[in-house]
Structure 1
Amino acid sequence: MAKGLRGLVGPRHAGHSMPAGHLAALSLPVGDDGVVVGDDAEGRPQLVGFHRSTPYDVLLIGGLWTAQVLALRAAGTGARVVVETGRRQEWTTLAQAAGAGLECITLHDVGRVPPMGATVGSPVVVIRDCGMRPPRGRVVSSPWQSVLTLLPYLSPVAPRLMRASTLVGVQRVSPQEAQQIGRILGLTQPEVAALPTLADGVTLWCSGRERHWVMTSGTDAESGLLGMARRMD
């Protein structure tokens, strides 16, 4: 099983659209172990395998919009999505719309996430939206419970989190941040130079020596709920 992104090879079909009010039926094409995070430069879907029998940590240095799209898509695969956040108001509408009354996405204050009891039949994806310095706490990855930590920008804890994560996603950052990220992740100079120029919705996903440039575009339902892709919140 690949550590990072998985390309889905095969025929592509025309996309389907749905009203924003039909989010309860939200479902995206997934492989045996992946959630579609976007397309590469050739238009091939790229997947992240959140549901694993081993602990799995993902770090996204980027915008809230992308984290929320991933939350919706993970919920669409049947995972329970747990959001630990200090800005509950930014997640409330999404959580209410996603399950149509079912709590497939639940919100918790920082440091208040209870044990979730993840199993192979009931996997959990925890999204930590805790600002620039997410505190260490009880929320850790474990079998069938993956953790995605969102950092809006590079912060003092970012180097530690980058080194500890199996998969790291980087969206548009400043030239100074790009240089530091490049040193930690071992990026090439062209990759470093590209980071400050990335368009909204574009992420460089890194896992070991794997590199994938991915464009995330919202479906009609996602765009109706979250708006268009954006780096800034």
Structure 2
Amino acid sequence: MSRTRTLDIPGHSRRAAPEFLVPPETLDAVSPSGDRGGMIIGSGPQGEPLGTSILRPQPTRMVTVGGLYLARQIALRAMATGAWVIVATGRPTAWKVLEQAAGETADGRQVPLAQIRRLTPFDPPRSTEDAPLLVIHDGGAVPQELFPPRSAWQTTMYVLPYLHPQMGNGPAANTAELVLLQRLPPNQAQLAGRIWYLQPPQIQQLTTLADDGAVVLGNMVWTPIQLVTNKREQEILGPVRRGD
């Protein structure tokens, strides 16, 4: 069976759109789950793989707190499931690895799976089930609402280096369907408790997570995980870690 995947450009009909081949190395970097938009994000206490649907048939917000490594890992795995990734950032150099991971077509053109843009408003391409879209907002600890998800199969991911007290007043944190938290210092763990209504044992656990640990937080969901990687992903991103 062929290990390449053909992709259509979002916003164009399938019949008219040119096709691009995703390099096998991009697919090798992850082990996506079987459902559309799902991906493995870590392992459980017994080493069992744990996955979640990052891209969904409804507009979705998600938040990562703890550094660039986790956010770039999610972006890379979204690309491997066939999603388009647009990164709006003030530090484009930090995200160039996504363009490099996407590779080139047979005629030397860059595979346009990942786009790096400035932190200015733009109209994202149309997202569909066959061409889901992940918009990454890397705009500091108190990001403006520049790219709210507006259509099915579009997810906006807010990359927070740390928790700021003002985050509790904005839609990014209050309306996020999915939050991924790495280890937090005690004052930020207390803030997380107020924003997401956590219990004292959960707040305490956030302060003791290992460098490769995280917590998946959602509607009635609190799941500690261990972040996992493989050889190809380590070549692109380096070892699993907190921060960057």
TM-score, normalization: structure 2?
0.81
**Same amino acid, percent of matched pairs:** 33
User: Aligned partner of 2:76: which letter?
Assistant: L
Deviations 1:14-36 (A, max 9, x none): xxxxxxx9633435231214111
> In structure 1, what is the Cα distance between the partners aligned to 2:173 and 2:145?
15
| Partner residue of 2:238 out of 217, 227, 233 | 227
Further displaced range: 166-175 or 153-162: 153-162
The verdict on how the C-alpha distance between 1:38 and 1:86 changes in structure 2, with shifts beyond 3 A counting, is same
| Partner residue of 1:132 out of 141, 147, 157 | 141
CA RMSD of aligned residues (A): 1.8
SS of structure 1 residue aligned to 2:62 = strand
Give the deviation of 1:154 after TM superposition.
0.6
User: Aligned partner of 2:222: which letter?
Assistant: R
- Which residue is 2:160 aligned to? 151
> In structure 2, what is the Cα distance between the partners aligned to 1:85 and 1:162?
19
Q: Which runs of 5+ in 2 are unaligned?
A: 1-22, 105-109
- Which residue is 1:31 aligned to? 34
- Which residue is 2:128 aligned to? 119
| Partner residue of 1:86 out of 64, 84, 90 | 90
Structure 1 residue 69 corresponds to structure 2 residue 73: yes
The verdict on how the C-alpha distance between 1:136 and 1:197 changes in structure 2, with shifts beyond 3 A counting, is same
Further displaced range: 50-59 or 83-92: 50-59
Deviations 1:34-59 (A, max 9, x none): 11111111222121212322111111
- Which residue is 1:184 aligned to? 195
The verdict on how the C-alpha distance between 1:82 and 1:157 changes in structure 2, with shifts beyond 3 A counting, is farther
Q: Which runs of 5+ in 1 are unaligned?
A: 1-20
- Which residue is 1:44 aligned to? 48
Structure 1 residue 59 corresponds to structure 2 residue 70: no
| Partner residue of 1:173 out of 169, 184, 196 | 184
Question: CA contact under 8 A between 1:113 and 1:139: conserved in structure 2?
Answer: no
User: Aligned partner of 1:56: which letter?
Assistant: T
Query: How many residue pairs were aligned?
Result: 213
- Which residue is 1:193 aligned to? 204
The verdict on how the C-alpha distance between 1:170 and 1:141 changes in structure 2, with shifts beyond 3 A counting, is farther
Structure 1 residue 204 corresponds to structure 2 residue 215: yes
Deviations 1:92-150 (A, max 9, x none): 13322223331111111112443211112211011111111212224434211111111
Deviations 1:57-84 (A, max 9, x none): 1111121001111111010000111111
Give the deviation of 1:217 after TM superposition.
1.7
Question: CA contact under 8 A between 2:147 and 2:156: conserved in structure 1?
Answer: no
TM-score, normalization: structure 1?
0.84
Question: CA contact under 8 A between 1:80 and 1:123: conserved in structure 2?
Answer: yes
Question: CA contact under 8 A between 2:64 and 2:179: conserved in structure 1?
Answer: yes
The verdict on how the C-alpha distance between 1:112 and 1:41 changes in structure 2, with shifts beyond 3 A counting, is same
User: Aligned partner of 1:137: which letter?
Assistant: L
Further displaced range: 134-143 or 168-177: 134-143
The higher radius of gyration belongs to: 2
User: Aligned partner of 2:173: which letter?
Assistant: M
> In structure 2, what is the Cα distance between the partners aligned to 1:93 and 1:120?
26
The verdict on how the C-alpha distance between 1:157 and 1:103 changes in structure 2, with shifts beyond 3 A counting, is farther
> In structure 2, what is the Cα distance between the partners aligned to 1:167 and 1:95?
25
